[in-house]
C-alpha cells in the first residue's frame, strides 16, 4: 500500500500498515474469543507544520490511531515512524526523547489534569522530568507558556477545578507545549466546549501553529471543525482509511460514498438551504468485532456492487494527492 504522503519534505510522522486488534475475552478462563479490529492496516504521513484532520464516527478507530502514534498503545502490527525512526516497539526508556517531539491534548482536560496539582506545577513538571531547565528558570518558562496560551500569570497558583472548560484546555495546551514538540496529537480537543469557547481554542491552536511551526494530528468527529482547521483530511470507517486528500478537494469533491454520506449528514446553519428530506432509512454501523467482508462500507453503501461484498478495496491515488479506497472510483 502506498503511504498517502504530504506534499513535500521528509515526513515528520509516517504510519505504515498500522493495526491494533484488541482481544475480546469471555468466560471464567478469560479465553480470547475474538478481536476487535479497531485499526486494521492504515498508512499515512504528516509533514512538519501541517494539520492533518482525522475524522470518523464513534468506533471507527480514530482515537486508537492517536493512542498508537503517542505510543500509549503498542500496535499489533505496522510501524510508526517519527522522522524516520520507528517508535512502535521501543521500550519505556527509549521513548523519552520521542516524547519531547510528540505531545498530546485530549477532549476532557479535567480528566487529564491532576486535581491536586496547581496549574503552574503541572506545566513545570515536563521541564523537571526531562531536566530541561534549571530550577530558577522553570518559573520563567512556565510564565511565558501561560502568556502564550492566553492564561494570566496569576493563574499559576490555581487548581484545575477553578478553571472553566476553555481555560482548562488552554492549560493542557500549555503543558503539551512545554517540551517544544513538533507534533501535537489532539483528540477531540474542542468537542466538550460550547461554540463560543470552541472558537477561542481553535483560534489559539491556529495561532500557535503559525508561530511555532507545529504539526497537528487533529482527531474529531466534527467535520465542520476538521474542515476549518486542517490542510489535509483523512476519513476513517471501521478501522480503515477510506479517503485522504487536501481539504478543499475532499470537501468539494469527496470520492468515497462514505465521505459523501458524512458530508451530507452535517446540518448546515443556513435555513435557506432547505435540504430535501430523505425518507429516513435506518442503517447501522457494523461491529468492528466482525466487520463486513470486502469493502467494510458495503452494508450501508448506496452504490455497492457484487465485488464490493467480496474484494476489499485498496487505498490508491486516483488524482494527484487524492487517495480513496473504493472499487467504483
Smaller CB separation from another protein, 79 or 200: 200
Closest CB 141 distance from another protein, rounded Å: 27
Q: Are 46 and 183 in contact (CB under 8 A)?
A: yes
Q: Which of 12, 13, 88, 223 binds another protein (CB under 8 A)?
A: 223
Binding span for another protein by CB under 8 A among 21-29, 82-90, 178-186, 197-205: 197-205
d(CA 246, CA 234): 9
Select from 195, 211, 302, 306 the one that contacts another protein (CB under 8 A).
195
Closest CA to 325 of 262, 263, 250, 241: 241
Segment interacting with another protein, rule: CB under 8 A, options 11-19, 108-116, 266-274, 307-315: 266-274
User: By rule CB under 8 A, what string of x and - marks binding of each residue 121-160 to another protein?
Assistant: ----------------------------------------
Three cell numbers, residue 37:
479490529
Could you tell me the smallest distance in angstroms from the CB atom of residue 197 to another protein?
Answer: 8
The CB density around residue 11, as the number of other CB atoms within 10 Å, is 20
How far is residue 54's CA from residue 18's CA, in Å, rounded to a whole number?
Answer: 15
Pairing of strands 215-220, 183-187: parallel
Choice between 265 and 306, CB closer to another protein: 265
Shortest distance (Å) from residue 268 CB to another protein: 5
In 3D space, the residue among 105, 44, 19 whose CA is nearest the CA of residue 243 turns out to be: 44
Binding residue for another protein, selected from 264, 290, 293, 310, defined by CB under 8 A: 264
Of 289, 234, 232, the closest CA to residue 262 belongs to: 234
The enclosing H or E element of 209 equals helix 195-212
Question: Which residues contribute to the site for another protein (CB under 8 A)?
Answer: 57-58, 164, 166, 194-200, 202-203, 206, 221, 223-225, 227-229, 247-248, 251-252, 261-275, 277-285
Amino acid at each position: 500500500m502506498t503511504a498517502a504522503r504530504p506534499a513535500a519534505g521528509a515526513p515528520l510522522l509516517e504510519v505504515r500498515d498500522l493495526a491494533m486488534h484488541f482481544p475480546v475475552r469471555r468466560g471464567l478462563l478469560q479465553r480470547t474469543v475474538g478481536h476487535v479490529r479497531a485499526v486494521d492496516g492504515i498508512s499515512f504521513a504528516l509533514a512538519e507544520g501541517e494539520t492533518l484532520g482525522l475524522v470518523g464516527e464513534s468506533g471507527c478507530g480514530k482515537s486508537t490511531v492517536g493512542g498508537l502514534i503517542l505510543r500509549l498503545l503498542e500496535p499489533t502490527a505496522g510501524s510508526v515512524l517519527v522522522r524516520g525512526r520507528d517508535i512502535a516497539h521501543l521500550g519505556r526508556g527509549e521513548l523519552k526523547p520521542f516524547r519531547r517531539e510528540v505531545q498530546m491534548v485530549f477532549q476532557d482536560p479535567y480528566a487529564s489534569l491532576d486535581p491536586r496539582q496547581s496549574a503552574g506545577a503541572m506545566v513545570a513538571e515536563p521541564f523537571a522530568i526531562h531536566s530541561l531547565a534549571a530550577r530558577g528558570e522553570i518559573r520563567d518558562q512556565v510564565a511565558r507558556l501561560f502568556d502564550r496560551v492566553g492564561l494570566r500569570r496569576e493563574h499559576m497558583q490555581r487548581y484545575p477545578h477553578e478553571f472553566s472548560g476553555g481555560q482548562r484546555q488552554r492549560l493542557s495546551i500549555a503543558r503539551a507545549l512545554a517540551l517544544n514538540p513538533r507534533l501535537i496529537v489532539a483528540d477531540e480537543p474542542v468537542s466538550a466546549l460550547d461554540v463560543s469557547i470552541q472558537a477561542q481554542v481553535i483560534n489559539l491552536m491556529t495561532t500557535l501553529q503559525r508561530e511555532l511551526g507545529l504539526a497537528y494530528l487533529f482527531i474529531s468527529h466534527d467535520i465542520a471543525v476538521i474542515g476549518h482547521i486542517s490542510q489535509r483530511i483523512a476519513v476513517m470507517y471501521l478501522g480503515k482509511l477510506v479517503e485522504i486528500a487536501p481539504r478543499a478537494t475532499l470537501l468539494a469533491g469527496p470520492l468515497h460514498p462514505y465521505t459523501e454520506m458524512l458530508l451530507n449528514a452535517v446540518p448546515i446553519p443556513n435555513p435557506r438551504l432547505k435540504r430535501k428530506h430523505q425518507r429516513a432509512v435506518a442503517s447501522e454501523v457494523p461491529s468492528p468485532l466482525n466487520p463486513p467482508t470486502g469493502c467494510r462500507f458495503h452494508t450501508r453503501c448506496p452504490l455497492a456492487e457484487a465485488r464490493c461484498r467480496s474484494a476489499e478495496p485498496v487505498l490508491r491515488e486516483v488524482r494527484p494527492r487524492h487517495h480513496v479506497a473504493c472499487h467504483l472510483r
